[in-house]
Amino acid sequence: MTPFQRLWLAQTVSLLGDFVALFAVQVAIVFRMHGSASDMAGVFIASLIPSVVLGPVAGMFADRWDPRRTMIASDVARGALVLLLACAATVPQIGAISFAVSCVSSFFAPARAITLPLLVAPDLLLAANARMQQSMQVVRIASPAIASALVAGFGERVCYAADSATFFCSALLLATLRYARPVSRPPSCAVLRDLGAGFSFLVADPRFSFVVFSMTAGTFATGCFGALASVYVRDVLHRGPTLLGTIGVLIAAGTVCGSALLSKYARRQDPRKLIGSGMAAVGASILLIAARPTQVAALIGSAGMGLGVGVVVVAAAVMLQGETPPEMRGRVSGAAAALASLAQLAALLLSGMWAAHLGIRGVFALSAALLFATGAYGLLRNPTKCPIIAPRTLHATT
156-211 pLDDT, tens digit each: 899 999 999 999 999 999 999 988 765 555 555 555 566 677 778 777 877 788 88
Band (pLDDT 50/70/90 cuts) for residue 23 is confident
Per-residue pLDDT of 72-95, as tens digits, reads: 999 999 999 999 999 998 999 999
For the cut 50, the answer to whether the pLDDT of residue 383 exceeds it is no
* Averaged pLDDT for residues 125-154: 84
The lowest-confidence range among 143-147, 193-197, 350-354 is: 193-197
**DSSP of 204-265, one letter per residue?**
HSHHHHHHHHHHHHHHHHHHHHHHHHHHIIIIIS---HHHHHHHHHHHHHHHHHHHHHHHHH
Could you give the percent of the chain with pLDDT greater than 90? Answer: 36
- Cβ-based neighbours of 373, under 8 Å, separated by 6 or more: none
* Averaged pLDDT for residues 206-222: 86
* Averaged pLDDT for residues 275-303: 94
Report which DSSP code applies to 88.
-
CA pair distance 299, 303, nearest whole angstrom: 6
Amino acid at 77: A
Q: What is the pTM of this model?
A: 0.79
* Averaged pLDDT for residues 359-368: 94
Please give the C-alpha separations between residue 349 and each of 15, 26, 318, in angstroms, as whole numbers.
26, 19, 30
CA pair distance 250, 107, nearest whole angstrom: 31
CA pair distance 227, 210, nearest whole angstrom: 25
CA pair distance 185, 131, nearest whole angstrom: 32
- Res 395: pLDDT: 42
Domains annotated for the chain, with CATH where assigned, are: 3-123+145-175 (no CATH), 197-391 (1.20.1250.20)
Comparison of pLDDT for 145 and 87, the residue scoring more? 87
Task: Using DSSP, state whether 33 is helix, strand or coil.
Answer: coil
Long-range contacts of 151-158 (CB under 8 A, 24+ apart): 151/23, 151/24, 151/27, 156/24, 156/25, 156/27, 156/28, 156/32, 156/85, 156/86, 157/86
